[in-house]
Structure 1
Amino acid sequence: MHGLTSTRTVSRDRPRSKWSVALMLLITGLALQPIHTAFASASAPLTGSASGTDLSQARQLLHEGKYAEAYDLLSPVADANRDDVAFDYVFGRAALGAGHAEQARELFQASLAAQPDSPPAHLALGRAYYALGRYAEAKIEFETVLHFDNLPPDLLSQVRIYNEVARQSVEEERRLTAFGYAETGIGVYDVHDTIGTQTFGGSDRKDTFYNLRVGGGLNYALDDGYALSGTLDYRFRYFDNNDSRDNADLRWNMAGSRSFGDNNLSAGFRGRVSYRGNGNYRNDAGIYADYLHRLDAANQLSFELLYSRRWYPGEPVVTWTRTTAQGTAGWIHSFMDGRASLNVDGRFGRYVSTTLPDGNSDLYGASATLDFAFTDTVDWGIYYWWEHNAYDQEALHFHPEALDGVILAQRNDNLHEAGTYLTWEFAPSWSLRPSILWLHDKSNADIGFNYSSTEIFVNVRKSF
């Protein structure tokens, strides 16, 4: 230690040459340059990139609903912050609120490219599609995060519900989001002249009915893309004809879900309680799992597994109880720049543990819906649903083509349902929906399994 100290003392006392002094000054200047640059950047006005303070200020402006001011604040530094995840998302929200929906779409897509598991960015991108009038693409994007049961059949109403829930989540930063509705209307129920209706109740019966429907849904966002959701949907129908029983139906659903990338996986319980007249009810309850995968902006695949039970509590003679195991695969395609959608699916399964003399049954079927949003307030659609039931036990049945004939046969049913609707939003949150529904059940077994009817009705709906 002593020797080292002496050396330093001797060195410090040694006179420096002009070259050594110059070298020391050069090294000192290079060392201080980063500090000088950082200090100059901190003290100079923002010209090339967004500082944390300005991004926080922009978020505060968004929270206050001052989208144009936030947009003006961030626009000068947009190019310098290209591909910055946080900046793209905040600037996208400002652009959307300021009326620049196409720019917002590009910003949200850039944000998701770097952070695909962000539910807020998916919801915000859905809102950008919605603002552009690309409703089918908006629905596909929304359903990477949200998925509700018992929605109206038309694309326009569905996407308005999703957009409102997304607005609450993104703009109001609410974990608990909700929607609600109430509708009422009048219609005519026309039972067609078939051999079944001739035997049970007379032919070509027409009844006027009045209906009421109320319901809604909740979604609670957890961390890491998890969420809890639930819906309730109550329907009531009153008939003018005293010979016709009134109908009441309560449908419910509760589920947990996980959003990841372009996918949504959910599992939960769903069911319904239906009033069947004379104090009798029919109950359905089951467990299900859904998987949705967004292929691209215009295409989505869906898969569902369902296991459910139907029973009739309180009836003296139970003849229709059954357990269902069913799988469904579907595809949604957006076209006409998102103004139209085609939804097709196929399903297969089996009815087991039935109390029918026909035994258990295989089932398979398909359905399709074609929907057009002609304007921002007018939507029209048409749909078809079909299912085939093939039972595995031979039983005695009244021949469906002859009232006095009895046959020994394995029962086979073909169930058909088709309809069309028009939705017109005549005022904000108010819509008028005329609809036509046609039912046709055809069986090789008892005449009571053959049935056909048409319903024509008009409903007024208020959304909350």
Structure 2
Amino acid sequence: MIETRMARRRVARLPWRPAMQVFILTSVLFANAVFAADPDIARARQLVREGKYQDAYGLLSPFESTRAGDAEFSYLMGRAALGTQQPGKAKALFQRSLAARPDFVAAHLGLGRSYFALGEYAEAKIEFETVLRFENLPPDVRSQAQVYDQAARQTLDDDKPLSGFGYAETGIGQYRVNETVGTNALGGGDRRDTFYNARAGGGFNYALQNGYAIDGTLDLRYRHYDNSDSRSDQDLRWRLAGSKAFGENNLSAGFRGRTSYRGDGNYRNDVSIFADLRMRYDPDNQFSFGGDIRRRRYPEGRERALSRTTALVSAGWVNSFMDGVGSFSLTGHAGRNYATSRPDGDSNVFGATAALDFTVNKTLSWGGFAWWERDFYASDNIHFHPDTVDNTVFLRRRDNLYEAGAYLVWEFVPTWTLRPELLWIRDQSNAIGFNYSSTEFWVNVRKSF
């Protein structure tokens, strides 16, 4: 009887066992599906850090449509796309990352690298300058973007806060004094000198937390004239500053200086404090605003009275066109020279600079610039004039200063460039003795590190 009762219980339980198995299996599959809906971000981060970009891309790509609003996911997938030679895809992913997190410094660097890989050098430079700052760069936009791209690669791929660049160049050229009313009256218009020049320097950027950074550059220039009557030129320029990146903008403030050899063992020293704001309006346009207070101190002797303080403000615009292979910039400045013992007194100044750059291909680019400044002096003074009875005239000095230049850059092997450049200078004044003009042409070979 007991055995019959137990047998009935077993028979009664049997129909429930398949249902229970189905329930358990469904639960496990559902749990796995839920788990699989979340990408393994930690694993993807590790793969990117190790340079295994194809594996990282394969891990993340199934979740691209569902994680579009995740800044870190889009950034990591962008790094993976860039590492697998998909710069167009990487560009879209970094843009998506920044839309979700505008202050993401690494995504700005990644986006700049994507523009550079696509050959959109002007847009790359604008993007890089939301988070990086370097001065004393070569004049062509492609080389500038290349310096920034190298620094970005060091930061992202090497995962180090310190990045930098270096260079050395040398060449030969000719300096020629052009005829002006000043040279006609005072002589010197027949000067033709061959010169040899050399230049070396570099810069660093140290990334801190929350978009802060410290940067510095050093630039040493030397020119030797093949004429015993002409002094050699030596020039040392430096900068040390801090910056803060916020969204599409970057604010920088710091110190810059310049020491120039004036002959007979004497040097002219410039030291300034400055602030500069760069604003990326869109991928093709950047606006900048700056202020600078500089003290220029001449050595003891006849030039000492030329020492002065200069306060300047500036505003600029950079435009990228033709998909980033062309760049046009326009900058205006205004200020005052004061605290001086110059015979002509203080002066108000204003002027403008325009520059054009065009990249022909990955190894060839060209460009040029034009600079103008107007100086209004405050004091009447006696000046030389050849057409008066006593060769003097009493007037208030007015100057127009002009510079124009052009360059060609050819990268004949990686990191080596050939750089012919032309520079024309014209100082025009109502005071005869301050009229001057020269033309310089040189060819340099540059090695980038």
Structure 1 and Structure 2 fold alike (TM over 0.5):
yes
Query: Which residue identity is paired with 1:187?
Result: G
In the TM superposition, residue 140 of structure 1 has moved relative to its aligned partner by 0.5
Deviation at 1:316, TM superposition (A): 5.9
What secondary structure, in the 3-state scheme, does the structure 2 residue paired with 1:374 have?
A: strand
SS at match of 1:79: coil
In the alignment, structure 1 segments of 5+ residues that lack a partner are 1-28
Matches within 5 A, 1:365-404: 365-399=351-385
Q: Does 1:353 align with 2:339?
A: yes
Runs of 4+ in 1 over 6 A off after TM superposition: 35-38, 400-403
Once the two structures are superposed, residues 220-260 of structure 1 have per-residue CA deviations (whole angstroms, 9 ceiling, x without a partner) of 10100000000000000001011111000000000010000
Equivalent residue, structure 1, for 2:277: 291
User: Which residue of 1 is the match for residue 213 of structure 2?
Assistant: 227
Shift of 1:318: 1.3
Is the 1:187–1:455 contact (alpha carbons within 8 Å) kept by the matching residues of 2?
yes
Q: Distance in 1 between matches of 2:169 and 2:151?
A: 20
Q: For the residues of structure 1 that align with 2:392 and 2:123, how far apart are their CA atoms?
A: 54
SS in structure 2 of the partner of residue 80 of structure 1: coil
Q: Is this contact kept in 2: 1:372–1:380, CA < 8 A?
A: yes
What is the aligned length?
429
Shift of 1:67: 1.7
Contact 2:325 2:359 in 1 (8 A): yes
Cα distance in structure 2, aligned partners of 1:333 and 1:358: 39
| Contact 1:400–1:444 (Cα < 8 Å) also in 2 | no
2:124 corresponds in structure 1 to: 138
Task: Map Cα deviations across residues 255-285 of structure 1 (whole Å, 9 max, x no partner).
Answer: 0100000010010000100001111111100
The amino acid that maps onto 2:153 is R
Tell me the TM-score normalised to structure 1 length. Answer: 0.89
Map 1:35-184; keep pairs closer than 5 Å. 40-43=29-32, 48-51=37-40, 55-184=41-170
Deviations 1:285-344 (A, max 9, x none): 010000001100000000010001001134365121010010000000010111101010
Cα pair 1:400 1:450 within 8 Å, conserved: no
Task: Compute the RMSD of aligned alpha carbons.
Answer: 2.1
Write the mapping of 1:298-337 to structure 2, written as runs, cut at 5 A: 298-315=284-301, 318-337=304-323
1:419 and 2:408 equivalent? Answer: no
Equivalent-residue separation in structure 2 for 1:275 and 1:393 (angstroms): 29
- TM-score normalised by structure 2 residue count: 0.91
Tell me by how many angstroms 1:183 deviates: 0.5
Secondary structure of 2:305's partner?
Answer: coil
Task: Identify the residue that residue 462 of structure 1 maps to in structure 2.
Answer: 447
Code of the residue aligned with 1:145 in structure 2: it is V
Unaligned runs of 5+ in 2: 1-19
Residue aligning to 1:22: none
Q: What is the alpha-carbon distance in structure 2 between the residues aligned to residue 357 and residue 40 of structure 1?
A: 90
User: In 1, Cα distance between the equivalents of 2:303 and 2:262?
Assistant: 14
Q: Which residue of 1 aligns with 2:6?
A: none
Q: Find the counterpart in structure 2 of residue 451 from structure 1.
A: 436
Distance between the aligned counterparts of 1:160 and 1:436, measured in 2? 23
C-alpha separation between the residues in 2 aligned to 1:308 and 1:258? 23
Contact 1:47–1:76 (Cα < 8 Å) also in 2: no
Distance 1:173 1:359 in 2: 54
> Residue 39 of structure 1: CA displacement?
5.3
Aligned partner letter, 1:189: Y
- Which amino acid in the other structure matches residue 436 of structure 2? Y
Q: Given the alignment of the two structures, is residue 236 of structure 1 paired with residue 225 of structure 2, yes or no?
A: no
Distance in 1, Cα, partners of 2:269 & 2:278: 28
Matching residue's letter, 2:209: D
Determine the C-alpha separation between the residues in 2 that align with 1:400 and 1:154.
44
What's the offset of the Cα at 1:419? 0.5
**Partner of 2:148: helix, strand, or coil?**
helix
Structure 1 window deviating more from structure 2 (340-349 vs 401-410): it is 401-410
Q: Which residue of 1 aligns with 2:5?
A: none
**Amino acid corresponding to residue 155 of structure 1 in structure 2:** V
Q: Which amino acid aligns with 1:326?
A: L
**Which position in structure 2 is the counterpart of 1:268?**
254
Q: How far apart in 2 are the matches of 1:403 and 1:76?
A: 90
**AA matched with 2:437:** S
Partner amino acid, structure 2, of 1:106: A
Q: CA deviation at 1:364?
A: 0.2
- Check 1:40–1:316 CA distance in 2 against 1; reply closer, same or farther (3 A cut): same
